[in-house]
Amino acid sequence: MRLLLPCLAIACAKAPAPSPAATAGPTADEARAWVEQADGQLRTLWRESQRKAWTYETDLTDAHEAAVVAAEEQTMGWMTDNIPVAARLATAPDLDPVTARQLQLLRTSSPLPAPADPDKRRELAEIAAKMNGMYGKGEYCTGEGEARVCRDLGELSKVLATSTDWDAQLEAWEGWRTVSPPMKPMYASFAALGNEGAREIGFANMGQLWLSGYDMPSDEMLAETERLWLQVKPLYEQLHCYTRAKLVERYGADRISPTGLIPAHVTGNMWAQSWENIYPLLEPYPGASDLDVTAALQAQNWDAIRIAKAGEGFFTSMGLDPMPATFWERSMFVKPPDKEVVCHASAWDVELADDQRIKMCIEPSLDDFVTIHHELGHNYYNHYHTTLPILFQSGAHDGFHEAIGDAVALSITPSYLKQIGLAETDSSDPQALLDKQMLDALQKIAFLPFGYLMDRWRWDVFSGKVAEEDWNDHWWALRAQYQGIGAPGPRPADAFDPGAKFHIPANTPYLRYFLAAILQFQFHESMCKAAGHTGPLHTCSVYGSKEAGEKLKAVLELGASKPWPDALEAITGTRQMDGRAMVQYFSPLMGWLEEQNAGRQCGW
């Protein structure tokens, strides 16, 4: 049997000659030659997809959407044809580790496997692009004629972030969720087609495919995520208890039960996934510090470029390279006045050749200041593994890619903010410390259960455990179980509230963010040790530490070339993900929360 890649117009290298033993089964030489050829073809396909996706997300037009569909359809077709070939080649005896790993990664590389049927493949690509566009163009409109007013996600989110008017917040929250119901029947077709594609390459459904990308059997990965959640769950329960009590004081026990669920629309965030916008309500010692970074950024007229430069400056202070000049020429840092765009922040290497870019509508806010560090973490990962084979140009697992920038952002301490002129109080003040820990907790601890449940919902949907008519109820059951968060009122029969979160219509797996929330503290702890830090973990900033930078580069340069335990060992010296560093980091706040919650009935 001769194993060949399909001869694509965009890339068709001369195939290796078949070996005499090919009919008896694949050989190591055959597998190695096939992988080398696949590398070139995948580069061409993925580069074309990236180009079209960048153009579309920075200019949402029907023509650009059609171009995305065409590029994605071609990539899906290549994957459909070649993943079975890769699976067969992986059985060749005496494979070298580099070839074997590339074959393994190819099998799990696409979160959206397409069916072999070309019509179904086209339909899947069209649905995926359409849902992404619907989300990006989404608006909530009220009034008629000249009185008609439409607000997009950014404007509605500002209401939740800044208002304390229950009814105004409720209208904004419910308004955004009018965008997603039309996606529900599309998502049903999308899931069915994706599952069909997954079955054709040997997986029960898309959920099992996603879980198989972590260098361990899917059932073991499920157990691993539950173990990590239980390690950090006590932190969340104490934060939830304190937050709920303060919200009851603000809105009244007639609207928020002192022992029940927190209504989703009063946490300051459209999805109640982080709560930093209600920090003024929860600040342990009001006035003890000047940690209103948003106010400082605005008062000092920080624009988008200055914020991005500050993020780059942190990485270069650790001895890492500056971003390429093209980064500043090709990125989208602000929302164009004359185009519809996807403002959701993302990092890109469009040409897959160190063509680093950011796509983001940067505002002078603490959230965006932290986000730019996160996104640059992706760019630096891309930069340092850009010379590797294309299938290695990724994180050791997807949580690694998300954790890098977040680990660096943990060094945005009061002392660092003071260094760059955004704060006057340093970390020596114990009250200021608790204020900063609360602010961090509202972003990182509050996020943990949301990061965990997003994919639990999809795994249940993809597996058929939950019927379509029960999707929304199951969403809120998981929100209640893990987050202690509830809908602010009855939801309409056609509601599709999961679709109101970008990563659902965009089909971006979300477990990576939960894992990153854990890993960033392990990475931070290791870099702090390398930097010679001897105090409590929460006081450490690795800004300016070349030794910490070397630790960071050690994992960046590996990309996905090694199983993630090897990459984890390269930066931390250990081979197991562990939540203890996170618990240690927040130990001052945990003690304070337990004191504040004494006598309260925590849980829900």
DSSP for 461-498, written as a single string: HHTTSS-GGGHHHHHHHHIIIII-EE-SSPPPTT--GG
Please give the Cα distance from 4 to 546 (Å, whole number). 47
Query: Does the active-site annotation cover 378?
Result: yes
Catalytic residue flag (residue 265): no
In the set 64, 265, 374, 385, the catalytic residue is: 374
Choosing from 56, 140, 214, 513, the catalytic residue is 513
Question: Per the structure block, which two tokens stand in for 239?
Answer: 């934060």
Catalytic residue among 15, 87, 288, 345: 345
CB atoms under 10 Å from CB of 38, counted, come to 24
In the structure encoding, which two tokens stand for residue 266, read together?
């009063």
Sign of CA dihedral 346, 130, 505, 203: negative
- Alpha-carbon radius of gyration of the chain: 24
Beta bridge partners of 140: 151
Q: What is the DSSP string of 384-401?
A: HTTTS-GGGSS-SSHHHH
Cα 414 to Cα 422: distance, rounded to the nearest angstrom = 9
Q: What angle do CA 504, 508, 510 make, to 5 degrees?
A: 90
* Separation of alpha carbons 252 and 260, rounded Å: 13
- Catalytic residue, chosen from 126, 402, 409, 441, is 402
Separation CA 316–CA 173 (nearest Å): 40
Say how far apart CA 359 and CA 426 lie, in whole Å: 33
CB neighbourhood size of 532 (10 A): 11
Written as six digits, the tokens of 215 are 């260098």
Contacts of 405 (CB under 8 A, 6+ apart): 373, 374, 375, 376, 377, 378, 380
Cβ count within 10 A of residue 601:
10
Catalytic pick among 344, 547, 554, 569:
344
For 27, counting Cβ atoms within 10 Å of its Cβ (0-12 exposed, 13-18 middle, 19+ buried), the class is buried
**Closest-CA residue to 87 (of 104, 99, 109, 111):** 104
Report d(CA 359, CA 348) in Å as an integer.
8
Write the CB contacts of 348 (distance below 8 Å, at least 6 apart in sequence): 50, 54, 355, 356, 357, 358, 359
Query: Has 174 been annotated as catalytic?
Result: no
Question: CA-CA distance, 477 to 551, in Å (whole number)?
Answer: 41
* 513 part of the active site: yes
**Parallel, antiparallel or unpaired: strands 262-263 and 485-486:** parallel
C-beta neighbour count of 154 within 10 angstroms: 12
Catalytic one of 378, 383, 524, 533: 378
Q: Considering 312, 375, 441, 530, which one is annotated as catalytic?
A: 375
**DSSP SS3 for 108:** coil
> Which listed residue (64, 373, 385, 503) is catalytic?
503
Cβ atoms 392, 385 nearer than 8 A: yes
Alpha-carbon span 508 to 491, nearest angstrom: 25
Look up residue 263 and give its DSSP letter: E
Q: Is 538 tagged catalytic? A: no
Question: 373 an active-site residue?
Answer: no
User: Cα(112)–Cα(508) distance, rounded to whole angstroms?
Assistant: 9
User: What is the CB neighbour count within 10 angstroms for residue 136?
Assistant: 21
Q: Is 383 an annotated catalytic residue? A: no
Catalytic residues: 344-345, 374-375, 378, 402, 503, 513
